[in-house]
Chains A and B, each alone.
Chain A
Amino acid sequence: MAAVTIRKAHKTYGATPVLHGVSIDIEDGEFVVLVGPSGCGKSTLLRMIAGLEHITTGEIAIGDKVVNTVPPKERDIAMVFQNYALYPHMTVAQNMGFALRMSGRPKAEIDARVRRAASILALEPYLARYPKQLSGGQRQRVAMGRAIVRDPSVFLFDEPLSNLDAKLRVQMRTEIKELHQRLGTTTIYVTHDQIEAMTMADRIVVMHDGVIEQIGAPLELYDTPANTFVASFIGSPAMNMLKGTLKGGDIPFVDTGKAQIPVPGAAAAAVGRAVTVGIRPESLELAENGIAATVVVVEPTGAEILVVADIGGGTYVTAAFHQRYALRPGAPIHLAPAPGQVHLFDDETGIRL
């Protein structure tokens, strides 16, 4: 086990910059998820940690050791790839034991360690099979087995669940998290799926276009997103974002032109500024008076109903209600944000006010 420190890591491919100075301190035993839209440089960063990609400038350390020039096999890491990267002509057991075999361990030790990993992952019945004789979920497990057999200091996962169907994905999510709790190995996990990030991470690193937008625990990011990008990226359905001007008064409010949204406690210094106001769907409530809206679509999910409503001029907001209101498209309603549940961002910079 080891901490991982990334200091001002830059990456350029030819003349194209991909990472613009990324710094993350990952503690020993922590489960950190790198999340962001595809193309933002998550895989590149992970591959730099693995040693599969050169570090243009900056520093990456595993434990106390700067590994910039250390080859992958000496970094004491194990990686699980998106398409599993199982060796097709080797059995499950041979796949799992490959790294140990490459490092010249005695056969008895390899067998024992493979069997132990297989029992952790319930893979014993499949040890003699070839990858193509396994289902997607089983292959995924073998890929994980191959990683844990080595008992490395750091696990690296690159979108390991994206090839699985939705149900299996949820199941494997739990399994990976459980495995981490059991082994306690430092884990860096890449995904573009914010739900995966929220459910699995100790800490989430939100990336966008090669920079870090915010680092924090899942609920920290959810409750106090540092900027509009994080605000709209984290959470599903996404946060409603409305542009307007912050006006003063007894209770400051944002005037969007169509609605006036009270923002109690907004800084007086910000009054008069152009702002973006963010309200999570579940923070919107049906009210006697509030923002006037017309129901457009009602989507019952079972646990809640999602209501998409037009607040005038084709601006849609989404509200999530736990109560089963009987609403029909076209019905006039009033929506009010729960007190204190309004996020305010500078319109120009997108930074939280």
Chain B
Amino acid sequence: MARKRWAAQTEPQPFLAFVLNTPAVGLLLLLVVYPIVYSFWLSLHAYNLRKPRQFEFIGLDNYADILSSGQFWHAARVTAVFSVGSIGLTVVLGTLLALLLNEKWPGRGVLRAVALIPWAIPPVVNGLVWQWMLEGRHGLLNYIFQSIGLIDSYQAWLSYPETALPALVIAQVWNHVPFVAIVILAALQTVPDELYDSALVDGANIFRRFFFVTLPWLSHALLLVLITQTMVALRTFDIIYVLTGGGPGDSTTVLAWLTYITTFSYTDFGKGNAYAYTIAVLTMILSVFYIRLLWKRGEMAK
């Protein structure tokens, strides 16, 4: 009889369900939904902390302002270059690393562990590490490049527009390659060996086996990686804060950085929030595009 009391309730108990879920839902509403809605609300107002008493509803004027400013389009271009560069390199290098880690060879276990380290480093610390690497007078990169004869004299990499943005891309890639590698490695390990055997008997060489067996199998994982990396790239702020501050000039001013300075340097909360929303919408559009592109192919793999 005592056992019976522990048996699963088969009757639905809507009241209990509500009671039990309320704290979690309440917390979500408070910590996630409220700021999101409030931020959108702010983006519809003229609200600058320099004139805190002036809080005027202006509809979509902030957005119109943004879209008609050269500053925005410049930042959008920088963001595009930074994103394409860093996402492309991260995904390609991450996939290559995953392929390497998936092969059997002595030392694989060690490298699998070591490869994860950059991912465990918070972006700000990553920025600091690269600041030291790229440093103009004592930086490690200068030392390496000079010893292999790539440069004659030490360079202040972050002080020139031509090298500052690539430097940011490299720092970003270094931080995120492990994540991509782990996701792709996990997917690689689910490819049935039989498929490779079959392709071998069918006369496919190593490149064709990769192209016809491995790559299609990875399409879902690649989709996941592309979406998360796009979000990460569009939001990148930490390493810019640490390494370039958006400069020299505005050569590394990406949208996230523009959002930050608009909000906290120019204290224009209305416009700053409009920037934040613009980035969010952009991310969403890109994600939908990726899903369209890759989902159908991945669908067939399951």
| Chain A contact residues, CB within 8 Å of chain B | 47, 50-52, 71-73, 77-79, 81-85, 87-90, 98-99, 102-103, 130, 132, 146
Contact = CB atoms under 8 A, between A and B. Distances in A.
B302 A79 contact: no
B301 interface: yes
Interface string B192-213: 1011011111111000100011
B27 interface: no
Given A89-B217, A98-B199, 15 more contacts: A50-B197, A50-B201, A51-B201, A52-B200, A71-B200, A73-B200, A73-B203, A82-B194, A87-B212, A89-B219, A89-B300, A90-B212, A98-B202, A99-B202, A99-B203
A78 B199 CA distance: 11
B291 to A, nearest CB: 17
B202 to A, nearest CB: 4
B192 A85 contact: yes
Interface in B243-294: none
B297 interface: yes
A84 B198 CA distance: 9
B139 interface: no
Classify the secondary structure of B's interface with A. helix
Contacts of A72: 200-201, 203
A174 B212 CA distance: 33
Given A98-B212, A130-B300, A132-B302, A85 B204 contact: no
A222 to B, nearest CB: 33
Contacts of B212: 87, 90, 98
A91 B301 CA distance: 11
Given A88-B216, A88-B300, A81 B197 contact: yes
A78 B203 CA distance: 10
B203 A89 contact: no
A85 B194 contact: yes
Contacts of A71: 200
B198 A89 contact: no
B220 to A, nearest CB: 11
A85 B195 contact: yes
Given A87-B212, A87-B213, A88-B216, A52 B302 contact: no
Contacts of B202: 73, 98-99, 102, 146
Contacts of A77: 201
Contacts of B192: 83, 85
B203 A85 contact: no
A71 B198 CA distance: 13
Contacts of B199: 87, 98
28 contacts: A50-B201, A51-B201, A52-B200, A72-B203, A73-B201, A73-B202, A73-B204, A78-B201, A81-B197, A82-B194, A83-B194, A84-B194, A85-B197, A85-B198, A87-B199, A87-B212, A88-B301, A88-B302, A89-B216, A89-B219, A89-B297, A89-B301, A90-B212, A98-B202, A99-B201, A99-B203, A130-B300, A132-B300
Contacts of B204: 73, 98, 102
Nearest to B296: A89
A22 B217 CA distance: 38
B264 to A, nearest CB: 48
Nearest to B198: A85
A308 B199 CA distance: 50
Nearest to B200: A72
Interface in B197-244: 197-204, 208, 212-213, 216-217, 219
B32 to A, nearest CB: 37
Given A52-B200, A72-B200, A88 B194 contact: no
Contact of A79 (B198, B297, B300): B198
A87 B201 contact: no
Nearest 10 pairs between A and B by C-beta?
Answer: A73-B203, A85-B198, A85-B194, A99-B202, A89-B216, A102-B203, A89-B300, A88-B301, A81-B194, A72-B201
Contacts of A98: 199, 202, 204, 212
